[in-house]
Chains A and B, each alone.
Chain A
Amino acid sequence: MSALAMKERPQVATAIEPLAFETRDLSKVFHIGRKWYAGGQPLRAVDGVSLSLRRGEVLAIVGESGCGKTTLSRMMLGLQPPSSGEIFVGGEPLTNVDRKVFARRVQPVFQDPYSSLNPRKTIGEIIRDPLLIHNIGTAKEQVAEVEAMMERVGLARRQIHSYPSQLSGGQRQRVAIARALIIKPEIIICDEPTSALDVSVQAQILNLLQSLREQMNLTYLFISHDLSVVEYMSDYVAVMYLGRIVEAGPTSEVMNAPRHPYTRALMKSILTPEPGLGLPDIHLGRGFPDPLNPPSGCRFHPRCIDAMDKCSSIVPRTLTDGEKIIECHLHDPEMAKA
């Protein structure tokens, strides 16, 4: 069964079990420097992204800063309307619906637990807020629910009246997770949830996220730049470059046998704690290109060590092979023939 189905053939999967989520040709264009009298310069932050995932699985999105992964997550949360394309959650279209509808099904855990909690509210108020917004249960039930959720994520009940400034980074991230889970969403968007934490705390939070996923049958969209975390956490991985998915597939396959030259460079840049190996040679040109003026043809060709002549002129096709997606002339049989 295809978990990362392309838009040409998603029906096979949906017929049996609705996909937890699916995006079809999702795009977001910003207009930089737009004034009321002038249109501004278009920036395609996300460009035709089609992804899907089954319930209970984890899809990781990796890429450099500016590749569009944050914009993608904002669209998935209903915080930014897509310029074009569609989002389906549990088989239902959620494109351009009110963010309140989105909220019941998709919730975020953000990167920085120091800025993701309102410093003027107590922990109890923060976790309870979604229940108040959606008017779920009586006041008594809400408090009971908050206490149960705090226990579940590993917070002490007496911390219900504390303020965020009284907690450590790891505890704050637990609060953020509790707030996200309290209205029982199906999908959690984890945007770099551990990159602001110490190594030992990171391990605790990753373990917690994994246990909650198993207990509550959650689906994660896991955005990270730390590839060893991605390898540990995810079932599938999608590599983004300048707004496009250039390679995607099951994590073990992509990590062990990366096909796209960019994925290969990313994998080589993982610094495992193995002394003596020294620094890897990642074979990657310097400089992230200007997203306002993306390179012609394959957007990656100026940094690619395997670039051919046609890479600068012909845009590579999206090829799918079962659960795998790749956009590269090197892996296009027709291009290899030519």
Chain B
Amino acid sequence: MSGLSSSSDAPVLVVDGMNVDIAVPAGALHAVSDVSFSVRPKETLCLVGESGCGKTITSLALMRLLPRTATLTARKIAFEGHDLAKISERAMARLRGYRIGMIFQDPMTSLNPVYTIGNQLEEVYLRHHRGASRKQARERAEYLLSRVGIINAGQRLGQFPHQLSGGLRQRMMIAMMLMCEPALIIADEPTTALDVTVQVQILQLLRGLQDEFNMAMILITHNLGVVARTADQVAVMYAGRVVEQGSAEDVFHNPAHPYTRGLLECMPKHGQAASMGRLGSIPGIVPSLVGNQRGCSFRNRCSLQMPTCHEGQIDLRPARGDHFYRCLLEPGATKPRPVSLGSAA
């Protein structure tokens, strides 16, 4: 899978054929199946999908923070010369928080309430910079807090997490992540709990920091508006698989997969009032991911399903250029008509 051609840098992260299976009493739950993507410096890849689609498991797998019952397999997860699927837990711990930064939806859960902000920021720095003095750490903490837009940074260092508002806490989490120099940020719903105005400000901040520090970002969200406005590349996930992947322009302007089209129709559009008709909806629910997965996982909710949708394995295939989708129909088809076998890639 190739990234955007506009960025000439080598990818920071290349994920190839990643699977995550979770052992449950009834068998193996295929939480993530055959996910491949790559991100380059300064580039943002958005993983988008509804709850249970596997986007969060994908991010946890990259951080190797999966629950014990889960098994991760991949042809390759290449990051700075390491294969994240194979390196030892100790080597992974050195990368986590140092070369790979994380931001979560609720900063309160990742901050320790009994330590001051300054203390926690310095701790991150000192853990990964042996021999650095506490003074150096404090200087960097103060610089980064003001860089992420926190006023009176020096004074804030002495405060505790609960004394900050949601927006400030998220800024602080970003500063904490920057204490080392991550090449890759994994942000899981970083703005979902925030007000709309704060959301825009935080996303802008992340965008600016990406350019300044040359970082790649994997942004996980269910909000299609956030995706459209921040993503260079988009991967739409459904039932543990990527069903459509490509540049934001391709995916939003020419959605190839029926699921992507359905999601876009569900969103109220600017200028659309209820008197003008109902919103589109996708009936049905996500299928069980336990056991053998055959055919298209979206078929039971798809208005275009055909008999062939039940069979075999459906691979990602190109719609146009770097735009891929996982469907037997022509890209963007509105009628159920199987493509001839010859034209499938």
* Residue A203, interface by CB 8 Å: yes
On whether the beta carbons of A232 and B225 are closer than 8 Å, the reply is: no
**Chain B, 230-259, CB within 8 A of any chain A CB:** 230-231, 247-249, 251-253
* Residue B280, interface by CB 8 Å: yes
**Chain A, 56-110, CB within 8 A of any chain B CB:** 64-65
* Given A271-B226, A273-B225: A225 in contact with B165 (beta carbons within 8 A): no
Name the one of A168, A199, A206, A279 contacting B230, with C-beta atoms under 8 angstroms. A279
* Residue B344, interface by CB 8 Å: no
Measured CB to CB, the nearest residue on chain B to A170 is B285
Q: Which of A117-125, A132-140, A280-288, A292-300 contacts B (4 or more CB under 8 A)?
A: A280-288
Q: Which of A11-19, A183-191, A262-270, A327-335 contacts B (4 or more CB under 8 A)?
A: A262-270
Name the one of A272, A276, A286 contacting B201, with C-beta atoms under 8 angstroms. A286
On whether the beta carbons of A282 and B197 are closer than 8 Å, the reply is: yes
Name the one of A210, A232, A269, A274 contacting B197, with C-beta atoms under 8 angstroms. A269
Q: Smallest Cβ distance from A287 to chain B, in angstroms?
A: 8
- In Å, the complex CA distance between A270 and B201 comes to 12
On whether the beta carbons of A204 and B281 are closer than 8 Å, the reply is: yes
A residues in contact with B207, CB < 8 Å: 279
* Given A270-B270, A279-B207: A232 in contact with B279 (beta carbons within 8 A): yes
* Given A206-B279, A231-B270: A200 in contact with B223 (beta carbons within 8 A): no
* Residue B222, interface by CB 8 Å: yes
On whether the beta carbons of B167 and A202 are closer than 8 Å, the reply is: no
* Residue B308, interface by CB 8 Å: no
Measured CB to CB, the nearest residue on chain B to A265 is B197
**Chain B, 257-285, CB within 8 A of any chain A CB:** 262-274, 278-282, 285
On whether the beta carbons of B278 and A207 are closer than 8 Å, the reply is: yes
- In Å, the complex CA distance between A274 and B265 comes to 13
Measured CB to CB, the nearest residue on chain A to B284 is A200
**Chain A, 197-218, CB within 8 A of any chain B CB:** 198-200, 202-204, 206-207, 210-211
Number of interface residues of B (CB under 8 A): 53
B residues in contact with A116, CB < 8 Å: none
* Residue B78, interface by CB 8 Å: no
- In Å, the complex CA distance between A276 and B229 comes to 7
B residues in contact with A204, CB < 8 Å: 281
On whether the beta carbons of A275 and B231 are closer than 8 Å, the reply is: yes
**Chain A, 212-228, CB within 8 A of any chain B CB:** 225-228
* Given A266-B196, A278-B229, A282-B200: A273 in contact with B264 (beta carbons within 8 A): yes
Residue of A203, A229, A278 ringed by the most chain B CB atoms within 10 A: A203
* Residue B35, interface by CB 8 Å: no
B residues in contact with A203, CB < 8 Å: 265-267, 279-281
Per DSSP, chain B at the interface is: helix
On whether the beta carbons of B266 and A65 are closer than 8 Å, the reply is: no
A residues in contact with B252, CB < 8 Å: 273-275
- In Å, the complex CA distance between A317 and B262 comes to 46
Name the one of B224, B253, B270, B281 contacting A207, with C-beta atoms under 8 angstroms. B281
* Residue B16, interface by CB 8 Å: no
Q: Smallest Cβ distance from B55 to chain A, in angstroms?
A: 12
* Given A231-B272, A279-B203, A282-B197: A200 in contact with B149 (beta carbons within 8 A): no
* Residue B195, interface by CB 8 Å: yes
On whether the beta carbons of B50 and A198 are closer than 8 Å, the reply is: yes
On whether the beta carbons of A270 and B196 are closer than 8 Å, the reply is: yes
* Residue A251, interface by CB 8 Å: yes
A residues in contact with B225, CB < 8 Å: 228, 270-273
Q: Smallest Cβ distance from A100 to chain B, in angstroms?
A: 32
Measured CB to CB, the nearest residue on chain A to B165 is A288
Number of interface residues of A (CB under 8 A): 45
On whether the beta carbons of B253 and A275 are closer than 8 Å, the reply is: yes
Name the one of A207, A225, A252 contacting B273, with C-beta atoms under 8 angstroms. A252
* Residue A277, interface by CB 8 Å: yes
- In Å, the complex CA distance between A277 and B227 comes to 11
A residues in contact with B278, CB < 8 Å: 207, 210-211
Q: Smallest Cβ distance from A265 to chain B, in angstroms?
A: 6
- In Å, the complex CA distance between A279 and B229 comes to 6
* Residue A233, interface by CB 8 Å: yes
Q: Smallest Cβ distance from A234 to chain B, in angstroms?
A: 8
Q: Smallest Cβ distance from B44 to chain A, in angstroms?
A: 11
On whether the beta carbons of B200 and A269 are closer than 8 Å, the reply is: yes
A residues in contact with B120, CB < 8 Å: none
* Given A203-B281, A274-B252: A231 in contact with B196 (beta carbons within 8 A): no
On whether the beta carbons of A65 and B268 are closer than 8 Å, the reply is: no
Q: Mark B313-340, 1 if CB is under 8 A from A, else 0.
A: 0000000000000000000000000000
Q: Which residues of A come within 8 Å of B, CB atoms? A: 64-65, 168, 198-200, 202-204, 206-207, 210-211, 225-229, 231-233, 251-252, 256, 265-266, 268-282, 284, 286-288
Given contacts A200-B266, A286-B167, 15 further A-B contacts (CB under 8 A): A64-B196, A199-B222, A199-B266, A202-B266, A226-B196, A228-B268, A229-B268, A231-B271, A232-B268, A232-B274, A271-B228, A275-B228, A275-B231, A282-B197, A284-B201
Q: Which residues of B come within 8 Å of A, CB atoms? A: 50-51, 149, 151, 165-168, 195-201, 203-204, 207, 222-231, 247-249, 251-253, 262-274, 278-282, 285
6 shortest interchain CB distances as A-B pairs: A271-B225, A232-B268, A275-B248, A203-B266, A198-B50, A203-B279
In the assembled complex, 27 residue pairs joining A and B whose CB atoms fall closer than 8 Å, in A order, are A64-B197, A198-B222, A199-B50, A199-B224, A203-B280, A203-B281, A207-B278, A228-B268, A231-B273, A268-B200, A269-B199, A269-B200, A271-B225, A271-B226, A272-B270, A273-B225, A274-B229, A275-B229, A276-B249, A279-B204, A279-B230, A282-B197, A284-B197, A284-B201, A286-B167, A288-B165, A288-B167
